[in-house]
Every structure is written in structure tokens, then in C-alpha cells.
Structure 1
Amino acid sequence: MSPTKKAVWGWAMYDWANSAFAVTIMSGFFPVFFKQYWSAGVDVNLSTARLGVGNAVAGMLVALAAPVLGAVADRGSARKRFLAFFAYLGVVSSLSLFFVGQGQWILAATVYVLGVIGFSGSIVFYDAMLPVVADENEVDVVSSLGYSMGYLGGGLLFLINVLMVMMPHRFGLADAGQAVQVGFFTVGLWWGGFTLFILFWVPEPSAPKSDATPSGIWIGGFAQLKATFKRIRHMKTVFLFLCAYWLYIDGVDTIIRMAVDYGMSIGFAANDLLLALLITQFVGFPAALVFGRLGKRWGPRRGIYIAIGVYAAATCFGVTMTRKEEFYILAIIIGLVQGGIQALSRSYYARLIPADKPAEFYGFYNMLGKFAVIIGPLLVGGAGLLMRHVLMPDNPTAADMARVGSQAARWSIASVLILFVAGAVLLYFVDEEKGRAQAARLEG
């Protein structure tokens, strides 16, 4: 079935739907609320470490499951069913955060982990549906359209939620804390409602008749997974790209998830940080579309390199900033490239894999992305705790603790720079033409 505009828009609307969770909860309110409400009174570096562990646990669970689920979904033509399961797991988790009480950081972290599993798990199948709605000539543009819709949709809901926090009485709410809790609830409603577009508008290729029974689907899926492990070991181009992606997307995802927490650790006000995040969303909407056009004109690899360079420079800038205006500048810089590097990585990978096994290969793609999320937050949290121990004087005063906490946070975010440099070096050795040839031989 040839791609249609309705299918393209239905596919892109899922980014509009799930980005509400990514922005309002993962990047925005959850880090703030976790530090100020669920972990109130705890040292800033300890709360950062707790948040890092939560992200790492969620990433590990999704990473272990993604390749198996991708293989099974390909065999059973069940991508939309799996997407719906994980999406609505995330929806229920988002709604549930509304009911978690003050000081219940373990329960909050558990519900959050389930939400991240739902979000990340659904992305495996969302990405695998990209080749269904876009051919090779349009894959960069369509991939970027998805991210741009995510920035716009996530940004619009986040704008409403930020206004609720800043002016709670205008919305009939008691205070900013209640506004944040209601914000969690609105994410669940938004995500659940707009997911219906991809479920109803995007077609799914039929499964082979031999895979029609449930047992055949799972047995065939595990056999296909085993075969894919063997293929990837001998597909040097795919293997190198996945290693490069693993490193640089680790830096991207870690900054997305930990930026607000970092800003709070070095003394910025929560409202200023939420405003900066909002700026990133609305800058990211047109920037992602521009990157899609650049990828089509110059090639996605060159666009990825541009984005990595900007991220490396932004990381260095972030380590030295001291004023909130600098955080706003950083938000603009990140917004220019965040959607672009994600979109072009996804579309570049589509050129390197067999066309008839997208969910299976995107399972590995997302697996590495999630394993990267395990390393990044732990790196940031661990580096902060280590430097706090090294820098803290004996018998510290309150001023010493605040100063050392800020310095340790800066060292922790600086560690992310290593990942961008290493990823760029590995990407240099990826041979796209060889990858296309290998993928063509494995089709069928």
C-alpha cells in the first residue's frame, strides 16, 4: 500500500500525542516536583542520583524487551497493537502521578518508571512504522515532521501547564503544587486522546500466513530475533552506526532528562527553568522541519554532525553559565538541533536496514538508545556525588554545601561531552553505500 497524506499525518500525530509526556513530565514537572515535593529536604545531589537511577531502571527494562517485541511485532503484523499497549500504559501512569502524596518518592519513582516504559516502548513501534508511511525520497522530511509536530503539540500543552503553575488561581486551583498535579493528569488525557489518530489512520502490512497463530507469532519472533543478532554481527555498517548512535544520543537524552534538575542544582528558580524548556519546544518546532529539508538536500549524516557539534558547544557553555538569561540562550541553542538530530538519526538508520524487517531492526535501534539512557543519567548522578565528596571540606558550613553542590553539578554535566565526541568519531567510519547493499541482500 503506497503512503498517503492521511497516513503520514496520522503517524506524525503520535509524536504530537506522546511529546506531552516527554516535555511536561520527563523534562519539565517531574524533576522539579521530585526534588521539591516527593524528595523534599534531601540533598540536591542525592535527589539527582535518585532521579538518574529511576531513568536508568526504566531504560534497562525497555532496552531488554525492545528487540524481542520488535521481532514479534514484525512476524505478527502487530505493531499498532503493541504501540497501543505501551502508549496506554504510559497514559495510566501519567494519570496516576496525580494521586502520589508528598514525600512518597519511591512510589513516585515507580509510577514514573512505568510511564517511561510506556513512552519508550511505544516509540519502538512508532519508529518501525516510518517506512510504512514514507518512501526513501521522503523519509527525512516525514521523520522531521513527526518531531516538529511533537515540539508543537508538547509545547502547547506545556504552555497551558506552565500558565497553570504561574497563575493557579486563574484556573481555579489552590496553589502551584496542585497545578503541577493537574498537569500530570492533563498529559494522560492528551496522550490517550491523540494516540487514536495513528491507530485509525495508519495501515499495517499483513503478516505472512505461516505466522497467523499466536504461538507461530512468538516462536517465529524469537527465531527472527536470533537471526537478527547474527545479521547485525556481520553488518559492519549497521553495527558501527548503532555504536555511534548509542554514544551521541546518550548525550542528547541525558540533557533532555536532566537539564531542569541541573539548573535547579546550580541555583536557578524552577519557573525560570520551565520557561527555558518552553522556549526549547517552540524553537524546536520549525527547526526540526528545517533539519528535515537539510537532510534531504545535504544528506542526513552531515546534518547529524552539525547537531553533534552544536550539542558539544552547548554543553561547554552550560558548564560555565551563571545567569538565567544564559539558560534561555542555551534553551534556544538546544531547540535548534534537538529534533533534528533525533529525526535524521531515525531516517538515516532506515536507509541501512532491510525494508521488510523494520520493527525488528528498530527494536535494536531503540534498545541501544535506552541502554544509552542507562549510562547517561548514572554518569551525571555518579559524577555529581563523586565530586561532592572530593570537594566538600571537613565540617562544612551551609554556604560550603551550597557552593560544593553547584560545583559538583557542573562537573556532572561536563561528563556528557565525552559521549558527543566519541559518537562523532565512530560515525565517521559508517559507509552508507555499503550499508544499503548489505540491507538489500538480507531482504526477503
Structure 2
Amino acid sequence: MGTLHIEGYGDNGAKQRERRHGLDDKKRIRAWVMYDWANSAFATTVMAAVMPIYFISVAGGTDGSWSFTQTAAAILVALLSPLLGAIADHTGRKTTFLRVFSLIGACASFGLAFVGPGDMWLASVLVVIGMVGFGTGNTFYDALLNDISSPARRERISARGYAMGYLGGGMLLAVNLGLILGWETVGLPDQSAASQISFMSVGIWWIVFSLPLFRQVKDQPMAREDTIANHLRTGLKRLKETSVRIRKYPELLKFMLAYWFMFDGINTIIVMAASYGTTIGIESKDLITALLITQFVGFPSSLLFGKLADRLGSKKMLQFSLVVYLVIVVLGYFMTSALHFYLLAAMVGMVQGGAQATSRAVFSKMIPEGRTAEFNGFLSLTSRFFSFGGPLVFGLVKLISDSSRSALLAVAFFFVAGILLLSLVNFAKGEREARETV
């Protein structure tokens, strides 16, 4: 394939190109940001706080069956994201794919309202469907960042998305927890009914606040009308090409390697925080309070993180976030009270959204134009494939040492590796490699 050299984004030609494609249009940016507000309600209420408890206490599940449910969903998202991302790029219908998977996720959330006592299998199936809608949809949502923003503004805009996600997800979670805890006050028969209403609210919230994006960010379909079977074959072919093509972007490859360790470490903190807190004696109400602290600290912190990444550089801010995570892990080793857990939750809120948002922006600038959903899907596949490492290390150290504190301390390895690997990435060179080969 031939190469096309594009001059720096600061020149007049690039600016005209950006205006022609509707980049940095305020309405489109606001609409894109609101989608994070919309779907984060699923992450907080269903994935993190209410459904895990309801799954065990009402639906009749166990910790093990909940873990298998999460694993099944992760595998499906990992398999679907790169393939459907390739098809979306080929057909030019990223927004259409996002609309479909948002509807799937919202309907599954609504369906959870009908899960009653002993309905473990129904709950598992609906949670898997909802997580597929959430996770696969995010592949197309992340890819749309390239369609609505110029490279120079992506750190800030990506951070705005995460910030609104923290705020929106936290607000609905607070309302739902108030409903669950005060079920008698509002005249409900029990807490289960309040939980069912909270699941229903997630589906409604997701759909309503997704509408601005679907109205403002339109597809640019290619003239490629074909059968579904042919689209699937083309998607598989492009996915295979991606695994070969990605070798042409050495800085992107180095960044992805660093991202795998970062993602693994951060994901381990997220998925193990509640169980670790429970093991050392933190009560469930304090765990939920800590989650709310993370959400509401994450809102302003993500915005500030994006501004600092724009001003000081993405690499410095990403490395700073990993240093903060190292401090969190060390302090977590010595944690003994709910107050300590609250302080660590606030520290997580300070850097979690900013690190994820900045990583999304950096990745968006290192991938070639025309294959954004495909490369985002490939990142989703690979990062999820490697995401077992952190929990595995945690589990093995716990098994050997019989100490949850030692197991948490072992997670520091992933943050140290992330810091060292990031130091090897030349971000500017990675952006040039993406622009020069289209």
C-alpha cells in the first residue's frame, strides 16, 4: 500500500481538513461526552455496587458463579470487539454499531428488574448480555473520538468524557442506594423491589442520555452494500491484516505493551478492592461509601488530569498516575480502618479516570486513519487477554503466603513495569508513524 505524508496538524491544510470533517464541533463533542454519562450508570449500579449483592442475596448465586459470569462476558467482548470493529470501519457505521449495542445493554439492564429469588441463571445471562452491550459498545465509542476531535484536543475531550462518566454514574448510584436503603420511606415492599427499580433506571438512563450522540454524530457509510456473511468474511480478513499491519507501528506496539501492564494493574485494583476490604474487616456500607467517594472525586480530578496532560505532556501524567497507584498499593498494605479505605478511594479517584482517558487519547493519535474501531477492538482483545495476570498474581501470592496484604503488595509489579515501559515510548514519533501511513 502506498504512503501519504500529511503535514503537521498545526498547518492551514490540516485545519481546513478538520473543519471539513466536523472536528471539534461543540455540539458533537458535548453529545459524545454525554454518552459516558449515559453508560457509566451500568458500570456503577450493575457491575460494581447493586447487582453483585443482589445476585448472591436474592438470585441465589455465589461468589464463584458471579466470577464465572464476569469471565464469560469478558471473553465474549474480547472476541466480538475486534471483529465488529473491523466491520464498522469497513462499512463506515461506527455510530450504528454503538446504537445497537447500547440498546442491547439497556434492554438487559431493564430485564434485570424481572430477576427474582432463585433466578441465578436468568441473572447471569442478562448480566453477560448487558456487559457485552457495555464493553463492545465502548469499542465504537472510543473510536468515535477520532471522528469528533482533532489530535491536539483529545486529551482534554477524552478526560471530559471520563469526568462526566464519574459524575453521571455516581449520581444515579447515589439515588439508587438511597432508594434501596430507604425502601420503607417510599412505600416499597422490600429492598429487592428497590433494587429491581434501580436496574430499570439504568436502562432508561442509558437510552435517554445516549440520544444526543445518536442525533449529532452521524455515520459516514461507505458505498459497500453487501451480505452479512460477506461483511463477516471481510471483517475477519481485516482483523488478520491488523495483526500484521500493527508491526509497522513500533511506537504503538511499545505503548500497547505498557498499556497492558497499566490496564492489568488498574483492573486488579478495581476488581479486588471490595474483596480485599472485606477480608481485612471493612463493612459493606463502608465499601459502598468508598465507591461513591471514588466517583465524585473522579469527576473534577479527570478534568484537571486532562488539562495537565495537555500542558505537561501525556507521558509524564501517565507515569505520575502509576506512581500514585504504587503509593496506593503500599498504603493499602498497612490499611486497618474504614477511614484509611476512604482515603485510598479518594486517591484512586484522583488518577483512575485521568489515566484511562489519557491512554485513550494517546492511543487514538497512534492508530491509522480509517481503522479506528478496528484498532480499538484489537486493543480491547489483547488487553482483556492479558488482564488475567494481575488477579492471578494476587491469587497465587495469597495462596503461598496466606496473606491478602502481601497479595496486594505484589500488584505493585505491574505499575513498576508500566512506568519503565512507558519511558521507552516516543509519543511524537508514534503520531508521525500513524499519519505517514494511511
- TM-score for both structures, normalised by structure 1: 0.87
Tell me by how many angstroms 1:106 deviates.
4.4
CA deviations on 1:9-31 (whole Å, 9 max, x unpaired) are 11111100110011112121233
Name the amino acid aligned to 1:278.
Answer: L
Alignment equivalent of 1:95, drawn from 110, 113, 118? 110
- Partner residue of 1:427? 422
- Partner residue of 2:29? 8
The gaps in structure 2 that reach 5 residues or longer are 1-20
Name the amino acid aligned to 2:323.
Answer: G
Tell me by how many angstroms 1:380 deviates.
4.5
- Partner residue of 1:212? 225
8 A contact 2:366–2:431 mirrored in 1: yes
1:347 aligns with 2:361: yes
Query: 23-32 vs 154-163, which deviates more?
Result: 23-32
1:67 aligns with 2:58: no
8 A contact 1:15–1:146 mirrored in 2: yes
- Partner residue of 2:4? none
> Partners in 1 of 2:72 and 2:233 — Cα distance?
28
> Partners in 1 of 2:392 and 2:182 — Cα distance?
35
8 A contact 1:56–1:374 mirrored in 2: no
Tell me by how many angstroms 1:261 deviates.
3.4
> Partners in 2 of 1:52 and 1:194 — Cα distance?
30
> Partners in 1 of 2:289 and 2:196 — Cα distance?
18
RMSD: 2.2
- Partner residue of 1:302? 316
Name the amino acid aligned to 1:194.
Answer: F
CA deviations on 1:246-280 (whole Å, 9 max, x unpaired) are 11112222322332333233332222211111111
CA deviations on 1:204-252 (whole Å, 9 max, x unpaired) are 3332x3x333456444333322221111123221111112111111222
- Partner residue of 1:364? 378
Tell me the SS of whatever aligns to 1:170: coil
1:153 aligns with 2:171: no
Instruction: Check 1:305–1:326 CA distance in 2 against 1; reply closer, same or farther (3 A cut).
Output: same
Instruction: Check 1:427–1:265 CA distance in 2 against 1; reply closer, same or farther (3 A cut).
Output: same
> Partners in 2 of 1:331 and 1:257 — Cα distance?
13
8 A contact 1:32–1:261 mirrored in 2: no
- Partner residue of 2:433? 438
> Partners in 1 of 2:343 and 2:78 — Cα distance?
33
Tell me by how many angstroms 1:112 deviates.
1.8
Name the amino acid aligned to 1:75.
Answer: H
Query: 111-120 vs 29-38, which deviates more?
Result: 29-38
Query: 293-302 vs 226-235, which deviates more?
Result: 226-235
Alignment equivalent of 1:119, drawn from 131, 134, 138? 134
- TM-score for both structures, normalised by structure 2: 0.88
CA deviations on 1:109-166 (whole Å, 9 max, x unpaired) are 3322222111100000000000111101111111011111111111110110121122
Tell me by how many angstroms 1:411 deviates.
4.3
8 A contact 1:383–1:411 mirrored in 2: yes
Instruction: Check 1:414–1:332 CA distance in 2 against 1; reply closer, same or farther (3 A cut).
Output: same
1:191 aligns with 2:206: yes
Name the amino acid aligned to 1:429.
Answer: L
> Partners in 2 of 1:193 and 1:368 — Cα distance?
32
Alignment equivalent of 2:154, drawn from 139, 143, 161? 139
> Partners in 1 of 2:218 and 2:253 — Cα distance?
30
Name the amino acid aligned to 1:312.
Answer: L
How many pairs align?
416
Instruction: Check 1:104–1:382 CA distance in 2 against 1; reply closer, same or farther (3 A cut).
Output: farther
> Partners in 2 of 1:29 and 1:257 — Cα distance?
15
- Partner residue of 1:234? 248
8 A contact 2:32–2:161 mirrored in 1: yes
> Partners in 1 of 2:313 and 2:196 — Cα distance?
43
Name the amino acid aligned to 1:59.
Answer: A
Tell me by how many angstroms 1:382 deviates.
6.1
Alignment equivalent of 1:26, drawn from 28, 47, 62? 47
The gaps in structure 1 that reach 5 residues or longer are 392-406
Instruction: Check 1:87–1:383 CA distance in 2 against 1; reply closer, same or farther (3 A cut).
Output: farther
Name the amino acid aligned to 1:342.
Answer: Q
> Partners in 2 of 1:196 and 1:19 — Cα distance?
15
CA deviations on 1:169-228 (whole Å, 9 max, x unpaired) are 222223334322322221111112212221111133332x3x333456444333322221
CA deviations on 1:294-313 (whole Å, 9 max, x unpaired) are 11101111111111111121
Name the amino acid aligned to 1:29.
Answer: V
- Partner residue of 2:188? 173
